[in-house]
Structure 1
Amino acid sequence: MPLTTTSWLSSYSTEYSNDEMFDANNGLRPYWRNLLAEFEKFGVEGLRSRQKDVDWLLAENGVTYNVYNDPKGMHRPWNLNVIPFLVRQNEWAGVEKGIKQRALLLDLVLKDVYGERRLIKEGIIPHEVIYGHRGFLRQCDGIQYPNNTFLSIYAADLARGTDGRLWVVNDRTEAPSGMGYALENRSTTSRILPDIYGAMNVKRLSGFFNDLNQMLLDASPVKKENPHIVILTPGSHNETYFEHAYLSSFLGYPLVQGNDLVVRDGFLWMKSLQGLKKIDVVWRRVDDLFADPLELREDSHLGVAGLLDVVRRKNVSIVNPVGSAVMENPGLIPFMPSVAKYFLDEELILPQIASWWCGQEKEKNYVLNNLSQLVIKRIDRTNRESIHFAEFLSAVELEKLKLEINRTPYRYVAQEKINFSTAPNLVNGDIEARNLVTRSFCIAAREGYKVMPGGLVRVAPDRETVRVSNQRGGTSKDFWVVQEEPIYEDYSRNWHKQSPVSISGLNDLPSLTAENLFWAGRYVGRTLVMARFIRMVIRQLALVQKSDENPQSEKLEVLLKAVTSLTGTYPGFVEETEEGESAMDNPMKEMLSILLDANRPGSMAHTINMFSYSYYSIRNLWSSDMWRVFENIQHIWKAFESSGESSINKILKVLNQLITRLIAFMGLIEESILVKQGLLLYFIGLQLEQSILTIAKCRSLLAIKYDEQIEYDLLEYLLTSHESLNIYRYSYRSYIKLEHVLDLVVLDLEYPRSLTFMINRIQKDIARLPHSRNDNNLANYQKYVLDAFSKLRLASSSELSKTETDDEYVREELDALFAELTDLLYKTSQSITSTYFSHTDKQNQLVVQTFPF
């Protein structure tokens, strides 16, 4: 069916008259007509196909939004609708002026609230509106900042009112989110709809992000060409962590967590591998109360102890300043017209949602008398459930709400219920109207505030939903500001003369990032070695099932005990349980637990979860190809977990898929990160883990002497799990002998899979770490690895193969060597951790403070 305007609109309906496509006379707006004309060129099916392309591209790029307690998983895919949201340039010009005016007003209010407080003294804003808001932090009183502008980043939530104008619904000043998602939305739609994007003359975003970069550079308290700037994130569990990592990668600034930073001598420092590096600017994505556990919330692990003291000394700039959450206060809205008159002698350019603060008797009585027609909010956003749509409340709930308002009226503000405008959305292949809210962003530039020509559009998940929220399942749209004239802006990202300092070496690597790279190497190594060994054991179990061989044969018992030793899932096959049961009685039951029990440390599922967490924590360092392979690994494993199928053939198929993807992933890591940018830490972790597990395999299978046939089989199993059987046959062309296996797997200096080669590689890599190069003395971790390497180089396979007497069953020298090597490698790991990854102990407040929630 062709997508003609008539056919589309005949099936397009909205319960509200306020739709973005239509003007006051119910006529189709010209710019929407132009968009429909472009869509007509490929029809409904073409539009559906492009929506699939959008979904695919977002998934390929790993765009996610974290939803707390989501049954679908933590990292929900970002949803972007293929149909953009349109605003004409001549309308947007007026909106821009209004946003700039509002940002300037809130900046002035913020300065006044923590300064002279003239607005309160002269009765323009009631003191309860400020002091009753949990965002007002007395610890920030009187702080002066190096730059004249306090509010560097501002975001306004806008919705079109019944008068056809865009109204301000909410102000966001604490740590406004959405800029990164808006940029990703633009990147995606411009790739999927390139012809339409060009034909519609859409305003570009590159200039805004150029100004954003310059704003961060200019924020430095010490004016220098390349100030040290970091982006402070709460971590990978935060709902917008993707955005933090995305902007870190896009702008080139390190992404740090609270543990990466420390206060010393009145300055803020980043802990790097080399030592401390002074920080000039922090783009803060951590909420105010969690920013400094010494002066604010003592239980915070997200901030930096002593941060506010550094700010007072003007030795660091925080964007936005701590304490700015008080501006996210709907109780301020009724007083904003008076504020505009007081500071600027102007009327508000942008209309606001009608609001009544209940701290005033007249307004409170109006709210109580008209409660069922209003939306009731706390003046501070204590939690997402504190918004009451009174029309949906029962009589009992209304009475309860009235009691709460009467008890503490200053805490409540009422707002009129407005019907957000609707816009076309592609839903399950059909075009339907959905409510939407836009978020527009504004930054402080040298010549005044600058507004992003577009923003983030959030769309309700269904027709009936009143609240528009990503946490509640909403989707998104790209925001197009369209104009009549062709766009000639440069598509490239050309920063000003000053440029950001990128991570240029190990000395610039944040300690937590370095630690995550180290453990990323260990977990990927552990996952691969475990998968290969378990695959080999499962194959032997399958052969036993198909033959008359006793499932509790000696060589199978050795293999199964080796699984327990390798994974650390004791008691496993090694010991009986307290109830006297033995896993040997039902080996497949225990193997399935080792594979699938995510709550069992050492299991494959637990290891994959740890592997996923470590890599997600450093996703700002990833390439797109790495994400695609990573997602494929997750998909394979989650599908296996949820399938309920546990046949041997299914397990082997999944392990084969997992192993090949892991190998591809490991190859991509080496292509994506420079050695001096942290890949060295990954290599050390990988080789260390593979060495430890190689020792565990060899010790379990080789330290005990068995009958000739059993020993031959065990040697073959070891070579198979080590992916070394073909190399052995090619190298030795003989019957498999223990001495030759030890030579190849343990002692060969040139074979990359041998233990000696890996420990030698560790020795070379750790010599490049910063503290290894300070003087002629070896660091402790260097001593341990050198000792391990020396023991291997002095060892003889013929001596290691012997027992004390023919009647002895334990190869004492081999077992002792493996025990010593294991101890030395664990000490190496601990020494590296204590040298480079140790974080400061928690600092406690002298006086305990409590903060309302």
Structure 2
Amino acid sequence: MSQQTSLPFDPAGEGSAALDALLRHAPPVEAGVWDELRGADGRSRPAWERFARCVPDDAEALDRRVMQVARQLRQDGVTHNVFSDAGAAVRPWSLELLPLLIDPVDWATIEAGVLQRAALLEAVLADCYGPRRLLHDGLLPPSLLLRHPGYLRPLHGVVPAGGQRLHIVAFDIARGADGQWWLVAQRTQGPSGLGYVMHNRLTISRQFPDAFRELRVQHIASSYRRLIDALDQRAQDVAGGHAPRIVLLTPGPYSETWFEQAYLARYLGLPLVEGSDLTVRAERLFLKTVDGLEPVHGVLRRVDDAWCDPLELRPESALGVPGLLQAARAGNVVMANALGSGFLETPALQGFLPGIAQRLLGQNLLMPALPTWWCGEAAAWAGVRPDVVARTPDKLVRSTFPRSGRTSQVHDAPPEIIDADPDAWTVQGRLPFSRTPIWAAGRALPRPALLRVYAIADALGRWHVLPGGMTRVAQRADGSVSMQRGGSSLDTWVMTSGRVDEFSMLPSRLQVEDILGRRRPVTSRTAENLFWLGRYTERTEQLVRLARVVLDLIDADSDAGEPVLATLTALAVRKGLVPEGVPSLLQSPAVFERALLSAIGQPQGGGAWSVAFNLQALAQASQALRERLSAEQWSLIRRMGEDFAAALELPGSTVPDRTQAGEALERLALQLGAVTGAQTDRMTRDHGWRFLTIGRLLDRLIGVAVRFEAFLAGGALASVAGIDLLLELFDSAITFRARYQRHEDLLAVADLLVMDDTNPRAYAGVLRRLRTELRKLPGGEAGAEPLLALLPTAGAGLTPDELRGLDDAAIAARLLTLSRDLARAGERLADAIGERYFALATEDQRMQAV
């Protein structure tokens, strides 16, 4: 137990500005709870005095640091998905400035208790899926085990690959009023938070580097290395002499903790996969990649047991892999954690663990759990029934078994409901959580804190505790620490009196063989998302250009004739800038303009699929690619939509004016240029980048072909105004003027916009790049032949000699046919790429050696 300092706070002492800021406006110490900052006499604890001596900040400086932390989280795109009856919402991750400080004596107590409990849970699993001595000896009630959906009977008698069932266990602990640490809950299926733990550490340690060093805060990187090394070594036997492939299985972008899963996968160097990325063949697990099916030997999973296999578990699951249970049963994949540990999470188990620990370990439990009464035991229920009837504040009723997707829920169940099915209910004592300071509104506020610590097994089955964890705090004194209910997080600083671990995630020196095997696979789903990221980027850019051209035309004193106005109207409707049925530019330019301005910022369509709609699609595609995109690129894509929406807001009006929309579109065009630059110059040229580039080029080919076709079919190129507008849409006006000066004939337009392969928006230029990238796709030149056959064999499919001697009408006819053919070819090519690379589901797919 921590000891209070006997030294009074000296406001004139070294580092007093920070400590004075923490103490001066803090409310009095609350009776009946442990205060992490102060003792019962109001004096600061030693750890916080040491912290303050290293932080020469006053209240204003601490306020600035709070803003710096918030800005860093926004820049890194750290988010948390919140779900409610109204739907899902992505909100920024909440991280407080001040860490939770744990001294060496307290940590030694926590570590010993957690190590013991982790070993105990592994032993319980081994018994329950083996001899079941705990059931036979009456130490574990059969209904508590066999009725729990987390106990998977198909796995009874199965020893998992690698021999270890639990690889990582999370324990939620809190400090009571007497300073003792208590176990509140444990998580064994797919414990969450490790990604947030690392990001919190990187963020807060940079705010207080001197304090971090002087307090001798233990580093946490070695725990992550231990986890991945243990999985790698256990998967060696499954891989049969090949380098094991380990993946991180995620529920996907709609998971509550999607960001931290992507962040953790990137930090550990693991492919982030969803259930649809995997398939089971002949009791072995494979990853669907654009190169074919590649074997998977280990899975670090964040999908709960019940959702992992729709074939044998929940049939409605779209998150799992059909046949995964059989692959695990056959010992062909190492699962971290092994399937079937969900029953360990029930609160009812805590009442039986002391006796189980005596039987399996021959030890008393070092860390107590909350007082627990499983109502399935008649004596226990009879003992606490009066408290439930009286609704005493020191006890709460929880469900024994999972409810509404949660391991257990607090429930206001009346005694009659519990009487009807006592096995389904558990009563637990309440623990007033200790209060730790957060910095808000210019002062330190004590808030309830719950600490999650992680035990990680090494390759030999020995347990180690990550020296830190994720501390969650309530934003209000009477609030919940749950992140779903508005809680916040802290970095957790474990101080050591010994050596600070300087370990880095960088392993030992690589060999040439290691380099050859380090190419990151590109899953079919990732390739498809990148493909559409490219398409939506290009599509949005073309829409912005079209919108600006139309608005400028309405605003200008233009001599555009009827064919030009009719063409732009048809094009705007076809590309989704305005809904169908709106009066045309010829009939009512004002109404047409209002319809365009109204639709431009609507993300939900409503008859049009304008700029905001495509920005939203672009953001969704990037959200699914968090582990592949840099923080800067993802943040830029996200900010484009936010900035565009903000720029179109006008108090008292639902429709932006022309000037406002023009400025918003201009800013968006610049941001899209930055995104294009990031995609072009800041991404590794692997197959994933290639699919992104092909997606961009295909949408460009289809887009420019549709625009050229519209201008030709509408007769808009018979006028100088029509040619000028088409050149603007192709972003080629400056080049055209410099090259052809006063010539405005159709042959010059065809030369620049069709046959010039140096123009990146001309048919020939787009097709040249497409052919180059298609030949580099998996399968090489031979594999690319069916795709290349859909395109002209060279150039744009039209040469200057074919236009020799033709008048403008004949040239227009040839260009119209070519434009229609290329638009159709682009659509067919997109479908062919999807069929070949994005849907690997047939038995004749290539399998690499297992």
Q: TM-score, normalised by structure 1?
A: 0.90
Which residue of the other structure, out of 193, 196, 200, is the alignment partner of 1:181? 196
Say which is worse superposed, 652-661 or 89-98, in terms of deviation: 89-98
What secondary structure, in the 3-state scheme, does the structure 1 residue paired with 2:808 have? coil
Give the deviation of 1:772 after TM superposition.
3.8
Residue 49 (structure 1) aligned with residue 64 (structure 2): yes
2:809 aligned partner: 803
Matches of 2:688 and 2:82, distance apart in 1: 30
Residue 9 (structure 1) aligned with residue 37 (structure 2): no
Return 5+ residue gaps in structure 2 as ranges.
Answer: 1-10, 844-850
Say which is worse superposed, 625-634 or 129-138, in terms of deviation: 625-634
Identity level (%): 29
- Alpha carbons of structure 1 residues 797 and 297: separation in structure 2 relative to 1, 3 Å: farther
Task: Give yes or no for contact 2:436–2:448 (8 Å, CA) kept in 1.
Answer: yes
Which residue of the other structure, out of 344, 350, 354, is the alignment partner of 1:333? 350
Matches of 2:663 and 2:88, distance apart in 1: 24
What secondary structure, in the 3-state scheme, does the structure 2 residue paired with 1:295 have? coil
Residue 32 (structure 1) aligned with residue 32 (structure 2): no
2:839 aligned partner: 838
Give the deviation of 1:557 after TM superposition.
3.1
Task: Give yes or no for contact 2:549–2:725 (8 Å, CA) kept in 1.
Answer: yes
Matches of 2:279 and 2:174, distance apart in 1: 42
Give the deviation of 1:158 after TM superposition.
0.6
Q: Give the letter for the 2:48 counterpart.
A: W
What secondary structure, in the 3-state scheme, does the structure 2 residue paired with 1:171 have? strand
2:264 aligned partner: 247
Matches of 1:324 and 1:736, distance apart in 2: 75
1:457 aligned partner: 471
Matches of 2:817 and 2:483, distance apart in 1: 58
Give the deviation of 1:417 after TM superposition.
1.4
Deviations 1:201-239 (A, max 9, x none): 110012111212212212314364731111111111111
Matches of 2:277 and 2:587, distance apart in 1: 46
Task: Give yes or no for contact 1:160–1:421 (8 Å, CA) kept in 2.
Answer: yes
2:568 aligned partner: 559
What secondary structure, in the 3-state scheme, does the structure 2 residue paired with 1:82 have? coil
Which residue of the other structure, out of 674, 677, 687, is the alignment partner of 2:684? 674
Task: Give yes or no for contact 1:152–1:320 (8 Å, CA) kept in 2.
Answer: yes
Residue 357 (structure 1) aligned with residue 374 (structure 2): yes
Matches of 1:789 and 1:838, distance apart in 2: 31
- Alpha carbons of structure 1 residues 496 and 378: separation in structure 2 relative to 1, 3 Å: farther
- Alpha carbons of structure 1 residues 4 and 247: separation in structure 2 relative to 1, 3 Å: closer
What secondary structure, in the 3-state scheme, does the structure 1 residue paired with 2:789 have? helix
Task: Give yes or no for contact 1:226–1:498 (8 Å, CA) kept in 2.
Answer: no
Matches within 5 A, 1:380-391: 380-383=401-404
Give the deviation of 1:585 after TM superposition.
7.2
1:845 aligned partner: none
2:848 aligned partner: none
Return 5+ residue gaps in structure 1 as ranges.
Answer: 391-397, 805-809, 843-853
1:322 aligned partner: 339
Matches of 1:645 and 1:33, distance apart in 2: 57
What secondary structure, in the 3-state scheme, does the structure 2 residue paired with 1:420 have? coil
1:64 aligned partner: 79
Which residue of the other structure, out of 156, 164, 188, is the alignment partner of 2:179? 164
Deviations 1:6-56 (A, max 9, x none): 5642421254432112346664321122123333x1211111111111111
1:761 aligned partner: 769
Matches within 5 A, 1:681-696: 681-696=691-706
Number of corresponding residues: 814
The two structures, once aligned, show a CA RMSD in angstroms of: 2.9
Task: Give yes or no for contact 1:524–1:686 (8 Å, CA) kept in 2.
Answer: yes
1:714 aligned partner: 722
Residue 510 (structure 1) aligned with residue 523 (structure 2): yes
Give the deviation of 1:502 after TM superposition.
8.9
What secondary structure, in the 3-state scheme, does the structure 1 residue paired with 2:726 have? helix
Matches within 5 A, 1:782-797: 782-786=788-792, 789=795, 791-793=797-799, 796=802
Matches of 1:632 and 1:527, distance apart in 2: 15
- Alpha carbons of structure 1 residues 575 and 705: separation in structure 2 relative to 1, 3 Å: closer
Deviations 1:385-428 (A, max 9, x none): 897767xxxxxxx6x52222111110111111111111111123
Matches within 5 A, 1:715-754: 715-754=723-762
Q: TM-score, normalised by structure 2?
A: 0.90
Matches of 1:707 and 1:619, distance apart in 2: 44
2:3 aligned partner: none
Q: Give the letter for the 2:569 counterpart.
A: L
Matches of 1:634 and 1:704, distance apart in 2: 34
Matches of 2:566 and 2:36, distance apart in 1: 71
Q: Give the letter for the 1:660 counterpart.
A: L
Task: Give yes or no for contact 2:216–2:500 (8 Å, CA) kept in 1.
Answer: no
Say which is worse superposed, 469-478 or 748-757, in terms of deviation: 748-757
Q: Give the letter for the 2:572 counterpart.
A: V
2:619 aligned partner: 612
Which residue of the other structure, out of 625, 644, 647, is the alignment partner of 2:657? 647
Task: Give yes or no for contact 2:232–2:244 (8 Å, CA) kept in 1.
Answer: yes
Task: Give yes or no for contact 1:252–1:503 (8 Å, CA) kept in 2.
Answer: no
Matches within 5 A, 1:318-717: 318-371=335-388, 372-373=391-392, 374-383=395-404, 401-447=414-460, 448-465=462-479, 467-484=480-497, 488-490=500-502, 492-495=504-507, 508-543=521-556, 554-567=563-576, 571=580, 586-600=591-605, 602-640=609-647, 642-643=649-650, 644=654, 646-706=656-716, 708=718, 711-717=719-725
Give the deviation of 1:723 after TM superposition.
1.9
Which residue of the other structure, out of 117, 133, 151, is the alignment partner of 2:148? 133
- Alpha carbons of structure 1 residues 355 and 470: separation in structure 2 relative to 1, 3 Å: same
Q: Give the letter for the 1:464 counterpart.
A: D
Task: Give yes or no for contact 1:274–1:506 (8 Å, CA) kept in 2.
Answer: no
Task: Give yes or no for contact 2:37–2:44 (8 Å, CA) kept in 1.
Answer: yes
Give the deviation of 1:686 after TM superposition.
0.5
Task: Give yes or no for contact 1:803–1:812 (8 Å, CA) kept in 2.
Answer: yes
- Alpha carbons of structure 1 residues 282 and 385: separation in structure 2 relative to 1, 3 Å: closer
1:850 aligned partner: none
Task: Give yes or no for contact 1:800–1:811 (8 Å, CA) kept in 2.
Answer: no
Give the deviation of 1:260 after TM superposition.
1.1
2:169 aligned partner: 154
Deviations 1:802-827 (A, max 9, x none): 336xxxxx943322221111111111
- Alpha carbons of structure 1 residues 387 and 778: separation in structure 2 relative to 1, 3 Å: closer
Task: Give yes or no for contact 1:561–1:573 (8 Å, CA) kept in 2.
Answer: no
Task: Give yes or no for contact 1:436–1:468 (8 Å, CA) kept in 2.
Answer: yes
Matches of 1:316 and 1:74, distance apart in 2: 35
